[in-house]
Amino acid sequence: MRSEDGAARVRARARVRARVRARVRARVRVRARDRARVRVRARVRARVRVRVRVRVRALMWWGAVGAVAFCIAFVAGGSAARADGPQPGGSAVYSRYAVASDDALASKAGAEVLARGGNAADAAAATLLALGVASPASSGLGGGGFALYYRARDRTVWFVDFRERAPAAATATMFRDDAPREGAGPASRPSQLGGLATGVPGEPAGVEALVMRFGTLPLDAVAAPAIRLATEGVVLAPYVANLSATFSAQMRRDPLLRRIARAAATGARLRQPELARTLRAFAKQGRRAIYSGPVARAIVAANRRRGGVLTLDDLERYRALGRRPLSGRAFGFRWFTAPPPSAGGFTLLSSLRVLERIPAASRALGVGRLHALAESWKGPFADRARYFGDPDFVDIPLAALGAPARIARRAALFDPDRARPAADYALPLSEPSPAPALQREHGTSHLCVVDAEGNVASVTTTVNLPFGARYTAAGIVLNDEMDDFASAVGETNAFGLVGGAQNLPGPRRRPVSTMSPTIVFRDGRPVLCAGGAGGSRIVTAVEQVALHVLVDGMTAGEAVAAPRIHEQGPPGGLEVERSPALPDATIDALRALGHDVSVVDHLAVVQAIAIRSDGTLDAASDPRKGGAPAGR
């Protein structure tokens, strides 16, 4: 009996100690929250001060006419920018979760999955599948891409490579002059049009990897919005109509593309029952539905009819790969971005490190910033051209290319008063390689997702040129990703860029890309998700948008809508956009510094979500493509 009483007293004392410890922990948590609130208020006040300074600088940059327009927008929209829901120019602010893509229907599909309890990975996968329905010129199950994912629960960053790869029968000489042509018109080389142009699609494996590795919903729930869009039909966006008009002669050869072109031209609702059947099979079976069985046989048959070399074995052997993302510090932030076979992430980090070493007065917002950016890109683009290929087949000396001493040498070469030749910044390593081709694909989409748990997905997907290789199978537009390889050593591609051995086609190789999905952190928490479409212009556009948000204090909508420039070295010069346009005085100042300025229609398309210190999500879809964000 005494032993029982003693045991009871011991248990009672243990309960008392447990309650005391619980009270202590609760007080510690309260104090931590109080300190966190103080830090948040301080950061908010600091951001307000920064934005005031930035808006003043912006007024000085844009000139008198721009200043009037900027003031009107600021006064009229200052309070509205803090409210939930759509804002002018394809931007919005949300309190719980957000999706930004270059098609409004696709963004809504992602938001629908989030509302049903999915996370950022589920929403990214749903948005990818919906883009294939609503934006067939840019993406779909017949393409591939890269996904960068931040998992909030363990604060880890992951990278999934679902880039297309060459068939086993690919050779280094397959695109020589004697390769058969599939037709005439724009982008009609054998690497751009027809069967030889198509690599093994990676998106089915990429979507499955996102859902299975990181998602919370079953694949059929994730695919449901895309299936509904394909079944009920969509009205295609104006940019699809513009692209269809450009490639109409080539699209007439394919029954589905012919219907897409007709619907785009007339504004009629496009129903895609064959794609809906393929999506239903994918929802039930995952990647196996595409890489084996009737859909795989249809892909191989269509490819062979158009002169290709794809086999069932090529499809069955395809796998999405996990790779370690590139990361680095610049401007007080930690940047995570794409590793090889993308050269975009390396170019972004190298440029930022050079830019950071340039005196602040020489890179202030305005002409100085534009000049410094253009100069900072020349060296990294030279490295991209000389050294990059598929990392599973070639050695890429990333450590030597990004060595601090080499970055410092490039920064020291910068002259605030004149533009240097790109060759000055090349700084080749001891054993230079021939320069591979750089591409400017336009059949690309990017999406950003931030969910209520703090997970972040930054995903870029592509079929390469508009409507890929301009043929379909099982309702799927098939890519022309083989054009991202160099055609031959020493020969120029469609853009006048020299090809080299590092990026020649070969069995099961993945071509070099410039896709640059990016997530930026400050003090261990994500503050920006960004990425873009537009070939070699992607990385320069993403960098400019990121700097506008993180350094200049712009909203995501302002940053995405602002005019941009691009420089990648010879044979071109500095490109500026026709619309939105830089002021004539700015362009004249750039020419006076020695830049060879040319005006182009636009430079890439960027999607971004800025994660504010108060937890709200500032989401923006680029007005250049007419997209819109969605969220809650």
Q: Rounded to the nearest 5°, which phi and psi values hold at 528? A: -155, 135
β-strand pairing of 472-473 with 156-162: unpaired
Lookup: tokens for 110? 């992602």
Q: Three-state SS for 491?
A: coil
Q: Rounded to the nearest 5°, which phi and psi values hold at 538? A: -55, -55
Q: Which residues have C-beta within 8 Å of that of residue 230, sequence separation ≥ 6?
A: 133, 271, 272, 273, 275, 276, 279, 475
Give the distance between the most distant pair of CA atoms in the chain.
100
CA 560 to chain centre: 13
Q: Are 515 and 538 in contact (CB under 8 A)?
A: yes
The helix-helix angle for 203-214 and 219-232 (nearest 10°) equals 140
Q: Three-state SS for 265?
A: helix
Which of 531, 518, 537, 393 lies closest to 461, judged by CA? 531
β-strand pairing of 574-577 with 443-450: unpaired
Q: How far apart are the C-alpha atoms of 7 and 132, rounded to whole Å?
A: 68
CA 61 to chain centre: 28
Q: Rounded to the nearest 5°, which phi and psi values hold at 274? A: -65, -40
**444 is annotated as an active-site residue:** yes
Lookup: tokens for 548? 């506008």
347, 444, 462, 555: which is the annotated catalytic residue? Answer: 444
Lookup: tokens for 390? 């598929």
Lookup: tokens for 127? 């948005």
- Name the amino acid, one letter, at 82: R
549-554 long-range contacts, CB within 8 A, separation 24+: 549/608, 549/610, 550/331, 550/333, 550/520, 551/331, 552/54, 552/57, 552/58, 552/365, 553/47, 553/50, 553/51, 553/53, 553/54, 554/51, 554/54, 554/58
State the catalytic residues.
Answer: 444
